[in-house]
């Protein structure tokens, strides 16, 4: 740990850690762009935007290592790294609803799909805007503005944890009920749905629980997390690598689109056969 004279960082930011993060997020973002375009699963756009936010954040962090007093690069990295996980969870929630639809498991959810498709994206969008405002305020040169922005950001972490915790609990409940009362779709259309479903609680547990709780702990002034840089990489930045990496290998948005297209084609074919017979 090394204190800096500008009070932007309480440690000397590591160029090596930033470069590793830039390489990882560059690779993962390219992978997600490829999957999104190849599968035409546009709900994965927020994975791409989240990866880009992380990439921009750690690129700015690498520049900060050369000039720790540069408030502009400090502000960019702070806001971008704040927004990245939120954007990633946007795609997770959208995909969760599509996954339920493919499995025909709406009856096992706490909220109907129509509500999920409206409320979840709307709430995510509102939280992103407020978080962006709070993040910008925390890098202001005004002490009062920074204090207000910090309080706003802490409140957002709490709300996000509750909201994403709810969606994760809903997924766990749906999985439990679906396991006991399988639908035709879960048995025939996607028999290995349990393997794919693990992606949703993985993202929720890492981002909603692990990352947000760590950020809240940092905001509480725990010296171990505040005075050293590596915990922010280990418990935040590199954890996003795990989420994007897992979803990049098993690209659930593309799988949902593939299965929904196949089901629509099968239904249409059956309808045409009935019409021909008549």
Q: How far is CA 97 from CA 9, 102, 199, 210, 245, in A?
A: 40, 9, 13, 23, 21
Report CA-CA distances (Å) from 47 to 53, 87, 147. 10, 7, 31
Q: Tokens 């074919």 map to which residue?
A: 269
Q: What is the pLDDT of residue 146?
A: 79
List of domains in the chain: 15-256 (1.20.1070)
What is the pLDDT tens value at each position of the chain, 278 positions in all?
444 456 778 888 899 999 999 999 999 999 999 999 999 999 999 999 999 999 999 999 999 888 888 888 988 998 999 899 999 999 999 999 999 999 999 999 999 999 999 999 999 999 889 888 887 887 776 777 878 888 888 888 889 999 999 999 999 999 999 999 999 888 888 889 999 999 999 999 999 888 888 888 877 767 777 778 888 888 888 999 999 999 999 999 999 998 887 655 444 344 234 334 43
Task: Note the pLDDT of residue 266.
Answer: 46
- CB neighbour list of residue 175: distance below 8 Å, 6 or more residues apart: 194, 197
Query: Reduced to 3 states, what is the DSSP secondary structure of residue 182?
Result: coil
pLDDT at residue 186, as a whole number: 86
Entry pTM: 0.87
Predicted confidence at residue 136, as pLDDT, reads 83
Task: Enumerate residues 6+ apart whose C-beta is below 8 A from 269.
Answer: none
Distance CA 262, CA 188 (A): 12
pLDDT of residue 135: 79
Return the CA Rg of the chain.
21
């Amino acid at each position: 740990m090394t204190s800096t004279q500008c009070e932007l960082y309480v440690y000397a930011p590591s160029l090596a850690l930033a470069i590793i993060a830039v390489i990882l997020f560059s690779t993962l973002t390219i992978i997600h762009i490829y999957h999104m375009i190849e599968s035409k699963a546009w709900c994965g756009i927020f994975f791409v935007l989240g990866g880009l936010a992380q990439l921009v954040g750690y690129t700015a962090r690498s520049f900060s290592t050369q000039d720790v007093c540069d408030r502009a690069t400090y502000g960019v990295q702070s806001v971008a790294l704040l927004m990245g996980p939120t954007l990633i969870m946007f795609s997770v929630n959208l995909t969760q609803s599509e996954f339920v639809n493919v499995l025909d498991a709406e009856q096992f959810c706490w909220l109907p799909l129509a509500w999920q498709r409206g409320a979840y994206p709307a709430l995510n969008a509102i939280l992103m805007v407020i978080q962006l405002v709070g993040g910008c305020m925390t890098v202001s040169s005004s002490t009062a503005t920074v204090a207000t922005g910090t309080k706003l950001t802490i409140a957002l972490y709490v709300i996000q944890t509750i909201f994403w915790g709810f969606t994760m609990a809903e997924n766990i409940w749906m999985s439990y009920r679906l396991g006991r009362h399988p639908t035709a779709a879960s048995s025939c259309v996607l028999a290995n749905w349990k393997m794919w479903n693990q992606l949703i609680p993985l993202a929720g547990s890492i981002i909603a629980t692990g990352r947000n709780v760590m950020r809240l702990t940092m905001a509480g002034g725990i010296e171990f997390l505040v005075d050293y840089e590596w915990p922010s990489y280990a418990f935040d930045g590199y954890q996003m690598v795990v989420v994007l990496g897992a979803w990049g290998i098993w690209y659930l948005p593309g799988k949902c689109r593939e299965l929904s297209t196949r089901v629509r084609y099968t239904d249409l074919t059956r309808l045409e056969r009935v019409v021909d017979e008549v």
